[in-house]
């Protein structure tokens, strides 16, 4: 796999309470729900990593449907823009972090890439991703490998990949700067980092409408579709509203040593595609 693997240190175990020691984010077999106080800023929760893992495990089966419906079928367009931004060349090796159900991973596999690895720390999401592979052409599916892992401790040697991507996942990481440092470490010189993430639109009217939709409408309809009891679709808009601004994201990337950092807003600023180069 482009270098010897090493054991993944699940660093979030150090601060999780006893009921989360297995890293599943579950108690008595059920994912533990977000509380309203936690949702004022979920990034400050000491149990964020475990709850995120349990939450995504609970909604994995309906995740793709909810993505399509509640992005008004824009989510795949955003992912295709991310693939274009990566400028994949023949023979490139790609790592898609927080790959979820594999949509972005499989889009990369349809390019001239030599190999594409999708990594996620939620086993249930990876199960869905693997189930989707037989639907791809054989030459596409043969490029893809899915594996469980932690974005903050990537199980790869230095300078292993030409492209690293993370689609709508960086805000779910416990310590995003650690993950960004890992992205820089595993990229080869000249490698490209592509991050897709939601943001608050700058236009006041669009910002108001997006806030209404994400805070009032989407949590109700998405919960009905998924049957979720973890508060996943309350967490998701709360995690966007309390995460870095595009400028803060660019500064974090520059601080990690990336160069030529750009931020391209899409769909009136609801989504941003970041691109950065590893010197």
Q: Is the pLDDT assigned to residue 12 strictly greater than 70?
A: no
Label residue 22 by pLDDT band (50, 70, 90): very low
- The rounded percent of the chain whose pLDDT value lies above 70 is 89
Phi/psi at 20 (5° precision): -105, 10
Q: Is the pLDDT assigned to residue 116 strictly greater than 90?
A: yes
Write 65-74 long-range contacts (CB < 8 A, 24+): 65/225, 66/222, 66/225, 66/226, 66/233, 67/103, 69/221, 69/222, 69/225, 70/218, 70/221, 70/222, 74/267, 74/270, 74/271
According to the model, what pLDDT value does residue 16 have?
A: 29
Q: Is the pLDDT assigned to residue 141 strictly greater than 90?
A: yes
Secondary structure element (H or E) that encloses residue 48, with its range: helix 48-59
The answer to whether 196 touches 128, Cβ cutoff 8 Å, is no
For the CA atoms of 57, 98, 73, 81, what is the dihedral angle to 10 degrees?
A: 180
The answer to whether 133 touches 144, Cβ cutoff 8 Å, is yes
Least confident residue range of 25-29, 61-65, 262-266: 25-29
Q: Find where tokens 């180069």 sit.
A: 277
CA–CA distance, 115 with 215 (Å, rounded to integer):
39
Of 28 and 62, the one with more pLDDT? 62
CATH class for the domain made up of 72-196+249-277: alpha beta
Q: Is the pLDDT assigned to residue 107 strictly greater than 70?
A: yes
Q: Is the pLDDT assigned to residue 130 strictly greater than 70?
A: yes
- pTM for the model: 0.88
According to the model, what pLDDT value does residue 33 have?
A: 80
Q: What is the pLDDT of residues 205-258, one digit of tens each?
A: 999 999 999 989 999 999 999 999 899 999 988 999 999 999 999 999 999 999
Q: Is the pLDDT assigned to residue 150 strictly greater than 90?
A: yes
Summarize the confidence of residues 4-11 as an average pLDDT.
32
Secondary structure element (H or E) that encloses residue 273, with its range: strand 271-277
According to the model, what pLDDT value does residue 26 have?
A: 52
Least confident residue range of 26-35, 129-138, 216-225, 259-268: 26-35
Label residue 31 by pLDDT band (50, 70, 90): low
Mean pLDDT estimate for the chain: 89
Label residue 10 by pLDDT band (50, 70, 90): very low
């Amino acid at each position: 796999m482009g270098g010897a693997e090493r054991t993944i240190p699940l660093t979030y175990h150090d601060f999780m309470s006893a009921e989360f020691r297995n890293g599943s984010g579950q108690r008595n077999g059920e994912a533990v729900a977000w509380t309203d106080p936690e949702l004022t800023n979920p990034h400050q929760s000491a149990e964020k990593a475990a709850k995120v893992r349990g939450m995504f495990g609970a909604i994995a089966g309906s995740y793709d449907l909810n993505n399509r419906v509640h992005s008004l079928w824009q989510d795949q367009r955003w992912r295709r823009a991310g693939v274009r931004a990566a400028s994949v060349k023949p023979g490139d090796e790609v790592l898609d972090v927080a790959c979820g159900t594999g949509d972005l991973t499989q889009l990369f596999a349809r390019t001239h890439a030599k190999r594409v690895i999708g990594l996620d720390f939620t086993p249930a999401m990876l199960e869905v991703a693997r189930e989707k592979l037989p639907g791809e052409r054989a030459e596409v599916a043969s490029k893809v490998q899915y594996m469980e892992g932690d974005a903050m401790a990537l199980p790869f040697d230095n300078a292993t990949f030409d492209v690293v991507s993370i689609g709508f996942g960086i805000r779910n990481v416990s310590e995003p700067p650690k993950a960004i440092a890992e992205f820089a470490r595993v990229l080869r010189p000249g490698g490209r980092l592509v991050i897709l993430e939601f943001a608050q639109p700058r236009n006041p009217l669009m910002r108001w409408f997006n806030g209404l939709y994400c805070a009032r409408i989407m949590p109700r309809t998405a919960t009905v579709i998924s049957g979720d009891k973890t508060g996943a679709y309350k967490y998701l808009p709360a995690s966007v509203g309390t995460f870095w601004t595009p400028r803060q994201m660019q500064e974090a990337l520059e601080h990690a040593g990336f160069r030529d950092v750009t931020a391209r807003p899409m769909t009136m600023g609801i989504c941003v595609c970041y691109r950065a180069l590893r010197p």
